[in-house]
A = this chain, B = another copy of it.
Amino acid sequence: MKYSKQRELILETLKSAETHLTAEEIHILVRKTLPSVSLGTVYRNLNLLVERGLIRSLTTSGSTSIRYDGRTEEHCHLICTSCGKITDIDLDIFTPFDVFIYDRTGFSVDDHDFVLKGICADCSPHKFTI
């Protein structure tokens, strides 16, 4: 993989983002530094980075577009159905989980994609204060 300013910038943008961005959102951010970057280049590099394991992608039913995550360690996503915010949470349950599933089905787990939907702490009070 040959170096490119564009790819570096895309990766950096994603690593420093606290949210889970779409390709379009990344495109907008990247262009603030390097206005000539095209959307095609953003997509090409995101696919490349996912392939190489430098970032992760996540799709959520409800939204049509793919979101990208600069964190490479496995973790869960909490999606608030009220405000749409996606939060990361670390859980140490993956290993016992995998063993359980392997014993029961013979399926050997490589990767986890756990999404929990509900109401986040910030939105929760509103349920009671209307």
Interface residues of A (CB under 8 A from B): 56-61, 66, 78, 80-81, 87, 89, 93, 97-98, 101, 104-121, 124
- Please determine whether B101 and A89 come into contact, CB atoms closer than 8 angstroms: yes
Number of copies: 2
* Alpha-carbon gap, A112 to B119, bound state (A): 13
Interface residues of A, dominant DSSP: strand
- Please determine whether A105 and B117 come into contact, CB atoms closer than 8 angstroms: no
Q: Which of B80, B105, B114 is A78 in contact with, Cβ under 8 Å?
A: B105
- Please determine whether B101 and A124 come into contact, CB atoms closer than 8 angstroms: no
Known: A57-B61, A59-B61. 13 other contacts (CB 8 A): A58-B61, A61-B66, A78-B109, A87-B105, A89-B105, A97-B116, A98-B116, A105-B121, A108-B119, A109-B116, A109-B118, A110-B118, A113-B114
